[in-house]
Amino acid sequence: MKQPTDPTSGEPGHHQAAPTSGGIAVDERPDFTGDNAVRALPPELSERASELFKALGDPTRLKLLYLIAESDTTEICSHELSVALQVSAPTITHHMKKLAAAKLVNREQRGKWAYYTVNSDEFNRVHSLIHEL
């Protein structure tokens, strides 16, 4: 029976497995140089993505955004949102401020009630941003 050879010296002896990192043999790591170079995420893009994901990272805000986007009318009143989700008006105000700060919704105050619409331009930018990531 032929003995395995040491890959570094070519001498007969015990063959040692290649060192691994995360289950991938070190000598099998992908090449991230030249055409395969990894590019850093620009700071302004990472900041904007972080803002958006924070705003969208809450289930109540996602529900609110969905209700506004799927509304039969072009706008929806804060009172309607409160009734639909069965949460208090202050809770709606809190979450809608976060969505408005992230520029995902437009807000218009009319007397006692605030009316919200989806910011379509920003939604298109969000789509582009996610595609860039």
Task: Report the pLDDT value the prediction gives residue 98, as an integer from 0 to 100.
Answer: 96
The answer to whether the pTM exceeds 0.75 is: no
Give every residue of the chain whose pLDDT is below 50, as ranges. none
Structure tokens at 34: 């030249």
Task: Report the pLDDT value the prediction gives residue 62, as an integer from 0 to 100.
Answer: 94
Task: Report the pLDDT value the prediction gives residue 78, as an integer from 0 to 100.
Answer: 95
Structure tokens at 41: 């995420």
Task: Report the pLDDT value the prediction gives residue 118, as an integer from 0 to 100.
Answer: 94
Give phi and psi for 114, each to the nearest 5: -105, 140
Q: Hey, what domains does the chain have and what are their CATH numbers? A: 43-132 (1.10.10.10)
Task: Report the pLDDT value the prediction gives residue 40, as an integer from 0 to 100.
Answer: 72
Task: Report the pLDDT value the prediction gives residue 46, as an integer from 0 to 100.
Answer: 81
Give phi and psi for 88, each to the nearest 5: -70, 160
